[in-house]
């Protein structure tokens, strides 16, 4: 599932292509792709509205429209977004299509001819919603009640997310470190790839108790999360399996230290990277660099460690799988 860096890359790719465009039509072939409101109501509201900006919150894309409305999109496991000229052939896995007028976009550039924003999703986990937006930019929930992202934690790259704030939140947690990092109510946007990478960089075992770290270890983990996220954004995210951005693949997958490097030498000590399943998620670590403290060597933790293996398994990027042309061929 695309994480913060991948969704941020999508938002940055889409912003100059969509900002200033007016939505002239909405097409869908599967009602459930629109989570709120019902598809006909969404179409009735967004047609004729202009896209003011494209941004990200956590793992969601937010398209701010005029008149205090915002479209939200989560691509989940296999969702992809493309901006193509109107009439471009596409396969059966495109389930939502926004038609945009020709006209000025960000930077005053004029786009000639209508175009489509295509939402393609093979496994149909992605969702689109339409919500009211408060004056401060907060997206309100269904029926304009509460905040849509109210259960999400702070953004790890925000200036006000300090090491002190991170430390205070971490010390209130009682679970395993990796499980804590994946909890979107703790901090927003961290997923499986960057949790593994952050823990490796900070030399902390994924099964360690979140409230057992000393001050220095807390600082290392805080810095690792922010550094990994920043580098991944600079490299346009990790293009593994289905992820690709509107303007092409990322390259962070070529610079990962442990994720999907099972059996390969650790970049720090040279010992094989190991992998085990934690809550149905592959977890990658170095057993030498990331030691499990004695206090956390519980029966359940040791059972998980014993299942760790060294055999290599690595997914291919979407371009390596053939990109849109090969995907279209497989669909027919």
**Catalytic hit among 43, 56, 57, 59:** 59
Which residues have CB under 8 Å from 281's CB, separation 6+?
Answer: 182, 192
Whether 178 is catalytic = no
How far, in Å, CA of 92 to CA of 29, rounded?
9
Q: How far is CA 224 from CA 15, 194, 273, in A?
A: 28, 9, 19
Whether 124 is catalytic = no
Buried residues in 192-214 as b, exposed as e (16+ CB within 10 A)? bbbbbbbbbbbebbbbbbbeebe
DSSP per-residue codes, 138-192: PBB-GGG-SBTTTTS---TTSTT--HHHHHHHHTT--SBHHHHHH-TTTSSS--H
Whether 59 is catalytic = yes
How far, in Å, CA of 114 to CA of 103, rounded?
8
**Catalytic hit among 12, 76, 226, 281:** 281
**Catalytic hit among 2, 156, 206, 324:** 2
DSSP per-residue codes, 42-59: HHHHHTTPBEEEEEEETT
Whether 3 is catalytic = yes
Interaxial angle between packed helices 4-18 and 215-234, expressed in degrees from 0 to 180 and rounded to the nearest 10: 40
Residues with catalytic roles: 2-3, 59, 281
């Amino acid at each position: 599932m695309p994480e913060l860096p991948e969704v941020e890359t999508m938002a940055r790719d889409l912003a100059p292509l969509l900002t200033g465009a007016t939505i002239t039509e909405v097409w869908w072939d599967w009602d459930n792709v629109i989570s709120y409101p019902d598809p006909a109501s969404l179409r009735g509201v967004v047609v004729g509205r202009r896209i003011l900006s494209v941004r990200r919150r956590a793992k969601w894309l937010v398209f701010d429209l005029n008149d205090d409305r915002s479209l939200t999109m989560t691509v989940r496991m296999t969702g992809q977004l493309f901006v193509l000229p109107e009439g471009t052939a596409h396969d059966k896995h495109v389930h939502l299509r926004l038609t945009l007028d020709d006209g000025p976009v960000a930077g005053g550039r004029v786009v000639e001819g209508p175009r489509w924003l295509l939402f393609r999703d093979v496994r149909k986990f992605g969702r689109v919603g339409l919500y009211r937006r408060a004056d401060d930019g907060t997206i309100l929930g269904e029926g304009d009640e509460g905040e849509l992202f109210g259960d999400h934690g702070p953004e790890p790259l925000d200036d006000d997310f300090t090491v002190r704030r991170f430390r205070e939140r971490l010390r209130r947690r009682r679970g395993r470190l990796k499980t804590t990092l994946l909890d979107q109510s703790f901090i927003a946007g961290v997923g499986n790839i960057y949790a593994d990478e952050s823990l490796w960089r900070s030399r902390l075992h994924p099964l360690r108790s979140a409230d057992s770290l000393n001050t220095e270890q807390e600082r290392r983990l805080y810095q690792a999360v922010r550094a990994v996220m920043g580098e991944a954004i600079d490299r346009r995210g990790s293009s593994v399996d289905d992820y690709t951005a509107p303007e092409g693949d990322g390259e962070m997958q070529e610079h990962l230290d442990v994720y999907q490097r099972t059996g390969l030498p650790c970049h720090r000590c040279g010992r094989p990277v190991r992998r085990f399943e934690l809550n149905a998620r592959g977890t990658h670590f170095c057993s030498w660099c990331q030691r499990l403290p004695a206090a956390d060597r519980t029966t359940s933790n040791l059972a998980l460690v014993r299942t760790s293996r060294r055999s290599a398994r690595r997914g291919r990027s979407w371009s390596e799988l053939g990109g849109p042309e090969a995907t279209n061929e497989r669909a027919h």
